[in-house]
Structure 1
Amino acid sequence: MLQPSPSLSPGRHAFAALIVSNLFLALGPWMVRLADVGPVAAGFWRLALAMPLLLLFASRGAKGRIRPEWGMIALILLSGLFFAADLAAWHEGILRTKLANATLFGNSSSFLFALYGFVLARTLPRRMQVAAFGLAVVGTALMLGSSYQLSPRNFTGDLLAILAGFFYFLYLVVIDRARARLAPMPVLALATTAGALPMLVLALLLGEPVMPRDWTPLILLSLGSQVIGQGLLVYAMGHLSPVVVGIALLTQPAVTALIGWFAYDERLSASDVAGALLICAALVLIRLPDRVTRGL
């Protein structure tokens, strides 16, 4: 049952939860490549295997029955459809381009979500935020310039990842609105439930293999990316501004680039390392104004 969200004063561990969530989310593309089902089917299992746990957490966290706000429930269900579209496009793109490319383009939502934060606050960014945003842009450009390879194979995967980033931005906007009113687990449980069935239908329509022979990658994908990764992300979004969340999402390409290097010999260049360091610096700067107040 839905419950009101706690106060939006800064959570003591919100920023740490945000960073940890992105570390777990960055492992997702690797698990998609290891899965022996189709990419959309992998997205279905990510949601379906997580559903029982998330619904259990949501029900155990409820402290009492309240009258549901059906408009808010409908909005969260819509976010689940956006998330399903994001996963379908992104997972397909992961198999058609480099891991670093897929994660960089898939997280193009980071910049859109940060800009959404400024629009939402109806204010211009502070100097420290401008500096952090600038470092994040330069760092991402350095990583993208090094990892991107112009080829028909990568081009299709990159376009799919860009499309996924747009759907993920819509998902984040709806979740951000929902977290202003509701606790994290009910929000995530509803969104996950709404996205599972459309992904199964799409996987079957595409003729993908759905039943795995090896469940290990799918279980790790579901627990790591959906339960832990999305769970911590949705929690953090109730305490941190969209600007902070948006920039923090850019840690995923850096981590995924490392995985691509070690697992698939997709080697890192000096500009990859420099870009990752600039993104880390941006995370430090964006937190300086927000240590006492929530900020935007």
Structure 2
Amino acid sequence: MALNAAPGRYAFAALIVSNLFLAMGPWMVRLADVGPVASAFWRLSLAIPLLLMLARFASKGSFRPGKGVALLIVAGGVFFAADLAAWHYGIGLTKLANATLFGNASSLLFPVYGFIAARMLPQRLQALALLLAAAGAALLLGGSYELSARHLRGDLFAILAGLFYTAYLIVIDRARQTLKPLPVLALATIAGAGPLLLFSLLLGEKVLPSDWTPLILLSLGSQVIGQGLLVYSVGHLSPLVVGLGLLTQPAVTAVVGWLAYDERLSAADGVGAILICAALVLIRLPQRLATGEAAPHLGEDRSAR
């Protein structure tokens, strides 16, 4: 039993750390002196050499997935590129809180995919965890969230980004059934870089930066570390746990706003963060309490890949 759980022993910790790094991404996008879609291109392209090196090391040489898996990963890379393009573009057209809320639609949609794939409804403890997480996210963003016609375009782009990111996570979830995380991430990153450069040029953005520092930090933090740990955790944790883990990003974003831009944190922000933490604790209770013996896919850890 312990041997079977060993490969995914650190998956939950990796999920939390990944979201800490991913939450720093919008700050680096703001600091970059290139267009928003161009910053997404550099996020991927700067990471490719390092990811390829790490993937070859992890695979003990070259890695060549089958044609079907390769096509699946390419599709995932395109979905990821579309997600980054839509979300980065939408950030400039709406409030940051709106973009964070709608862009994290995958935190609820990905668990829905997990339940559909398992052909079962959520158990009471799982439903309670989802409700607590949703309430926590609403409280975190409620103070600055605003619906208006002025923000409609940006909100729609953020929603579209959330849909694309859900599709990306589904593809990664399937690809991880046959490949290790680093080869999956390296191939998906390569597939996504080209479309992002094309989108950026079509939008007439500035592509070449004067200051490389924010882009290098964005690439290392969000793509290599953030996505690397996320792809690893997707192979061992259920979509429900991954989805709830994504909701830690708004909490971290609120702290970044407080430290970097002196955006005050309210009592509601604190309660929201506590509710999200409570949801994560609930979902990490023993698998028998959460899902029962018959649904290992929706419990804590999945089969080691």
TM-score norm. by structure 2 comes to 0.89
2:264 is the alignment partner of 1:263: no
What does 1:44-63 align with in structure 2 at a 5 Å threshold? 44-63=41-60
8 Å contact from structure 1 (residues 139, 278) kept in 2: yes
2:105 is the alignment partner of 1:94: no
1:27-71 Cα distance to aligned partner (Å, 9 max, x none):
000000110000000000000000011111111111366763101
Q: 1:274: Cα distance to partner?
A: 1.4
8 Å contact from structure 2 (residues 77, 189) kept in 1: yes
1:135 alignment partner, one of 85, 110, 132: 132
1:180 alignment partner, one of 177, 182, 185: 177
1:149-192 Cα distance to aligned partner (Å, 9 max, x none):
23445433222211110100000000001111110011000100
2:203 is the alignment partner of 1:201: no
What does 1:1-296 align with in structure 2 at a 5 Å threshold? 11-63=8-60, 68-290=65-287, 295-296=297-298
Q: Secondary structure at the match of 1:147?
A: coil
Give the AA of the match of 1:34: L
Q: 1:105: Cα distance to partner?
A: 1.4
Give the AA of the match of 2:117: L
Greater CA drift, 264-273 or 165-174: 264-273
Q: Distance in 1 between matches of 2:40 and 2:159?
A: 17
8 Å contact from structure 2 (residues 185, 231) kept in 1: yes
8 Å contact from structure 2 (residues 56, 62) kept in 1: no
Q: Distance in 2 between matches of 1:286 and 1:257?
A: 23
Change (3 A) 1:8 1:76: farther
Q: Distance in 1 between matches of 2:92 and 2:134?
A: 26
Q: 1:129: Cα distance to partner?
A: 1.0
Q: How many residues align?
A: 290
Gaps of 5+ in 1: 1-6
Q: Distance in 2 between matches of 1:96 and 1:8?
A: 45
Change (3 A) 1:143 1:155: farther
Q: Distance in 2 between matches of 1:291 and 1:228?
A: 32
Q: Distance in 2 between matches of 1:224 and 1:66?
A: 24
1:80-99 Cα distance to aligned partner (Å, 9 max, x none):
00000000011112223333
8 Å contact from structure 1 (residues 8, 238) kept in 2: no
Change (3 A) 1:158 1:263: farther
Change (3 A) 1:102 1:67: closer
Q: 1:143: Cα distance to partner?
A: 2.5
Percent identity of paired positions between Structure 1 and Structure 2: 70
Q: 1:275: Cα distance to partner?
A: 1.4
Residue in structure 2 matched with residue 3 of structure 1 by the alignment: none
Q: Secondary structure at the match of 1:276?
A: helix
Q: 1:267: Cα distance to partner?
A: 3.2
1:191-236 Cα distance to aligned partner (Å, 9 max, x none):
0000001100111111100000000000000000000000000000
1:88-135 Cα distance to aligned partner (Å, 9 max, x none):
011112223333332221111110001111111112222221111111
Change (3 A) 1:67 1:227: closer
Q: 1:8: Cα distance to partner?
A: 8.0
Change (3 A) 1:290 1:103: farther
